[in-house]
Structure 1
Amino acid sequence: MRRPCPLLLLVTLMLAGCPKRVERVAGADDARIDAAEARLEELQFRANEEEASCPSRCDASSEVCELADELCSWVESTPDRTDLPPRCVQAQEQCAQARNRCTRCREG
């Protein structure tokens, strides 16, 4: 009886070994956008608190707008995803509301 070649056996095991875990790109994008939206909600809550100071509201406003810009750039990078543009629009609306709160605070 013939003995199998150890080198051939080793190469076969290496090729058939554990497959690489490939991260789904859409899943990563969704997770990143979900995290950004959660952060937007957190910032809005912080800016809307009754006892929030004007500088705190304006800082939150800046963060909201930066995050909205990031989120919209992610959306623009995936034009085939028709479910994402409304999320960009919502983030831009949150930015506008946050800027208005900051402006009212500074003027009032």
Structure 2
Amino acid sequence: MRAFPSALRMLLVSAMVAGCTKNVAPRVAGGDDAAIDSLSTRLEELRTREAATGASCADRCDLGTRTCELAEELCALVERNPDRSDLPPRCAQSQEQCSGARDSCARCDG
């Protein structure tokens, strides 16, 4: 069996190294901020829908469930950033919105 010429060996090693997966942090700068802003916007949309008159009990309860799911996501992101003093109030506000939405559902269902 013939030995590979050194240039071909170098090319093969380079291709193997370039093809290896890289361990990259799952977050990029601003990633959590963008996600928090997106969740806050979605929560505001749900708050607007909930405030609209004429929503059925099923709609109110669905909105409550979705509101609480988004609040949990938002608070998880806030917990990942303990050094940010501006974020805990956003978590608290989303939890209050969740509580209000659940109360609305409970009152509606009787």
TM over 0.5: yes
Q: Secondary structure at the match of 2:85?
A: coil
Instruction: State how many pairs are aligned.
Output: 84
Counterpart check, 1:51 vs 2:54: yes
Aligned match of 1:85:
88
> So what's the TM-score if we normalise by structure 2?
0.72
Tell me how far apart the structure 2 counterparts of residues 72 and 47 of structure 1 sit (CA, whole Å).
Answer: 21
For residue 31 of structure 1, the aligned residue among 19, 34, 38 is 34
Match of 1:56, as an amino acid? D
Match of 1:99, as an amino acid? R
Match of 2:106, as an amino acid? T
Runs of 4 or more off by more than 6 Å in structure 1?
none
Counterpart check, 1:105 vs 2:100: no
Superposition pairs of residues 62-77 of structure 1, within 5 angstroms: 62-77=65-80
CA RMSD, aligned part only?
1.3
Structure 2, unaligned stretches of length 5 or more?
1-26
Q: Give CA deviations for 1:23-52 in whole Å, capped at 9, x if unaligned.
A: 852x22111111101100111111221111
Q: Secondary structure at the match of 2:53?
A: coil
Counterpart check, 1:40 vs 2:43: yes
CA contact (8 A) 1:48 1:57 kept: no
Aligned match of 2:97:
94
Structure 1, unaligned stretches of length 5 or more?
1-22
How far the C-alpha of 1:97 sits from its partner, in A, is 0.5
Tell me how far apart the structure 2 counterparts of residues 24 and 55 of structure 1 sit (CA, whole Å).
Answer: 39
Tell me how far apart the structure 1 counterparts of residues 51 and 104 of structure 2 sit (CA, whole Å).
Answer: 8
